[in-house]
Amino acid sequence: MYLKTGDTVPGDFNDTESSESNEASSAVSVYRVTEVVAETPWCGLYRGKKVFQNFIFKTRQYEETEEHDCLDVLLKTVAYPQLHDISNVVYSRNHAKFELSSVLACPDTDQIPEPIDLVLIRNTRDGFEFQHTEEFVDREPVLVFENICGDPLGTWVNSGRHNVRAAMRIAGELFTLTSHLHANGMLLNLLHPGSIWIDGSNRSHFVGTENVVSVKKSDTIQSLFPPNRYPQLFAAPELLTGTATPTVSTDMLAIASIVWFLLTKRSPFGGGHGSGAETLLKRRPDPNQVQSLRTALASLSAQARRDIEGWLEVSGTKFEKKWPDGFVNGLLACLDPDANQRPVGVDDLRRIWRTAPPFPVREVIGIQEASGKLKICFSASLGAQFLHDPRKPAPRVTWQTPIVRECSSTKKTDTLQTHLRMGKKSGVAIRIF
Amino acid sequence: MAAVDSKSTWDRFAFRNRDFVRGKIDSGQNRGKSFTVPEFIAERYKPTSYFASGGCGLLLKGKDIKTDAEVLIKSTLEYGEADYAKWRDEDGFVVQLKKTRQQLQTERRVMVWLKNRGCNSVPNPIDYVFDLNPRLAEPYSTSEGTDTWTFSDEVMLSSEPFLIMEFVHGRMLTDIIGNGIDERRSVGILREVCHVFEVLHKPMSLASRTFQLAYQDLKPDNVMVGAHDAVRLIDFGGCRVSVNGTISAHGAFTPGYCPPECDSTSEIKPSADAFSVGAMLYHMITGQNPGDLLKNSLASAVRKSVRFDDWDWNRLQQRASRQTVEMIKQCVAERPTERPADGQQLSQMLSKMEGASCI
């Protein structure tokens, strides 16, 4: 169902769901569509005006408010990629009502737009009228909610307003939102930079509410969210391959990839990895990008770091001392292609931020135990993969561990040795091919 | 408005085949006053508890049964109509209703105006509906003693307006201030308030008329603070509105936070809000309510505004940087022309301070 600019949506409460009319309010809400914001195969988002009623004392009658007295609103419609599938139509409509009453009406958060109305109108699209009965045609839900003045995240990061400090505050807000939805039994499910808008005060607002699902497993999820609905660059591999349904773990990957985008202006998986299942299950952020992010974060002032502690809700811990490695390692843990290695919620992520030790060098890729000796594995090339799980305790090794030199390239070994000479201590370098 | 989230006992009664509730306010300046509202306002909004009340306005917490969202319902607590009823003056009665009801309409217009211009820091005006007000139809005592009179204007009885707003989550700034809060945090909160003033203070030209607004009643009770110090400025019923230079709404103000000119009945400039911003910043940093400074004044019985010399500058200097102290001094200047002119100037000053390393 798509609307056009200039369409009028009558929001009379005496719609097909209303039981009776009586002496109550003679005022009838009307919505006028003023702009198409976005249309996808699954939904349409429009900007419009809510027309109020004024009581005119002179004539003792109600009158519609003039244009300048109308409230800007957003309207969302459901679209049906599977028009012939009546169960999909039912699921989509029920999901729209869930979005309104559970997501938009979710209490105790300022980051989700306020619901204004649910109106049921006639779906006049030819194909719909042809394929469905009158009862279906007449009950097309249109969600009306608070207009957010702001830019989509993708626009904001490339605007003059973007800076790392502001981005970190937004990141803090997004983690709080994620935690809040999880606590209320909901999952973000699907995120992309268009799901989040940033207002003039650099505050974030979550408008991608049509993708939120209940944490309770539902048979309808796969019908409503087939793998091709998820964005390649911001979704967990198991959702893209259709091997799993949304979980807290897939949410952690989605929110971390959005935060990565917020900070670096690029997706963590933007390196042309391809879309095959095997490739998806191996993809990790480009080490060069990781290093640039660390450098950018390390340049923040001490005051900014203290602010960030508050925004990420890790005040009073050793977070600042571990800045920026602790923070980046937490993000990397969320971006792990193995769902079992990701934090199991925002609280778990905060635990990593509070406790994760800084790595001695950035290229640590794992710990190996052989013949009673511990070996730390470092990457010796930029394309190498991270295998270390930063949630686990600090590497079980002391710098007094006997050196085992197994590197084949002297030149690269020398580079690594430079990294390893921290104080008077030495480490173990193993090159993995 | 002082908020008390109490759930008083409400009596149900029927009027013209519909259910209504009658509640009594059990605290604050309106203690003992009663109100009457439909059980489902416009068949859609269910009042659930008393939230707050002020001069003549009533705020109830409620639920939108169509969206399941929590809402705030604003209505009129009293019209001051009893005097007209006493003399059976139905025309005077209607004029009184008109005056008060139009204030609520103005409040909705101001909120719509701000929301449409990008102010996400104000509550969303979700709806504006009309319904019956049975209280107006109750018999009034007249000047003839035992005789009673009933207002019978059906159109007026059934056109009681209700402004439905987003229920703002968070804590009232009053509850956060305590003994004073961090200077940097204070500046951050007020910067968001001044972002609203930036828009509010711009003259609005509509249908060949120019509207000029001042918020006028800035105080910690009217600022809600949510997660990550997201700010919501509430209660626009206190705005002073002038149309083509003539006051159309006097609004409300609070002693201690208001500038000297608020006490006048003439037009006030946006610089009046600069005074309140200075007073608020002083309160937030020092923890000392400016209203308490009035008690020290010899002429406290009549004075509404704190004189420049009555602020405790030593106390402020112990807790704030020189830059902040200077800004507060500029804001609370007694002459309007010596203060920052409007929200835009205030925003610029606060942004500069927020970016400075000294705070």
Contacts within 8 Å (CB) and 24+ apart, A154-160: A154/A193, A154/A194, A156/A198, A157/A193, A157/A261, A157/A262, A157/A265, A158/A265
Q: What are the b/e assignments for B116-152, b being 16+ CB within 10 Å?
A: bbbbbbbbbbbbbbbbbbbbbbeebeeeeeeeebebe
Name residue B277's amino acid. Answer: V
Spell out which residues of chain A touch residue B192, defining contact as CB-CB under 8 Å: 201
> What CA–CA distances, in Å, run from B167 to A75, B60, B69, B131, B234?
20, 10, 8, 21, 10
Q: How far apart are CA A370 and CA A393, in angstroms?
A: 19
Instruction: Give the rounded percent of residues in chain A with a pLDDT score beyond 70.
Output: 76
What confidence score (pLDDT) does residue B95 get?
Answer: 85
B356 reaches A (C-beta below 8 A): no
Tell me whether residues A303 and B357 touch, CB distance under 8 A. Answer: yes
Q: How far apart are CA A210 and CA A225, in angstroms?
A: 11
Q: Which of A13, A72, A111 sits opposite B43 (nearest CB)?
A: A13
Q: How far apart are CA A287 and CA A319, in angstroms?
A: 23
Helices (H), B178-321: 183-200, 271-286, 290-296, 313-319
Model confidence over A45-59: pLDDT tens digits?
A: 999 999 999 999 889
Q: Which of A24, A71, A109 sits opposite B43 (nearest CB)?
A: A24
CB pairs under 8 A between A and B: 143
Model confidence over A171-205: pLDDT tens digits?
A: 999 999 999 999 999 999 999 999 999 998 899 99
What confidence score (pLDDT) does residue A420 get?
Answer: 43
Name residue A122's amino acid. Answer: R
Cα B118–Cα B123–Cα B128 angle in degrees, nearest 5: 105
Tell me whether residues B132 and A102 touch, CB distance under 8 A. Answer: no
Res B52 pLDDT > 50: yes
Q: B169: pLDDT confidence band, cut at 50, 70 and 90?
A: confident
- Nearest chain A residue (CA) to B171: A108
Residues near B262 by Cβ (< 8 Å), separated by ≥ 6? B216, B240, B253, B268, B272, B304, B305
Q: How far apart are CA A410 and CA A100, in angstroms?
A: 63
Token pair for residue B12? 């149900």
SS3 B124: coil
Phi, psi for residue B24 in degrees, rounded to 5:
-125, 135
DSSP string, A265-279: SS-TTTTT--SSHHH
- Nearest chain A residue (CA) to B108: A69
Name residue B318's amino acid. Answer: Q
Q: Which of A54, A104, A311 sits opposite B105 (nearest CB)?
A: A54
Tell me whether residues B68 and A311 touch, CB distance under 8 A. Answer: no
Tell me whether residues B126 and A109 touch, CB distance under 8 A. Answer: no
Mean pLDDT in residue range A131-138: 77
Rounded to two decimals, the ipTM of the complex is 0.91
Q: B267: pLDDT confidence band, cut at 50, 70 and 90?
A: confident
**CB contact at 8 A, B42 and A13:** yes
Q: Which of B69, B115, B127 sits opposite A72 (nearest CB)?
A: B115
Spell out which residues of chain B touch residue A114, defining contact as CB-CB under 8 Å: 69, 124, 126, 166
The pTM of the full predicted model, rounded to 2 decimals, is 0.84
Q: Which one of B5, B95, B116 makes the best mutation probe of the A interface by having the most chain A beta carbons within 10 Å?
A: B116
Q: At what angle do helices B183-200 and B90-116 cross, to 10 degrees?
A: 110
- Nearest chain B residue (CA) to A18: B43
Q: Which one of A15, A17, A19, A25 makes the best mutation probe of the B interface by having the most chain B beta carbons within 10 Å?
A: A25
Q: How far apart are CA A247 and CA A270, in angstroms?
A: 23
Q: Which of B166, B227, B232 sits opposite A176 (nearest CB)?
A: B227
Lowest mean pLDDT among A121-125, A255-259, B37-41: A121-125
Res A21 pLDDT > 50: no
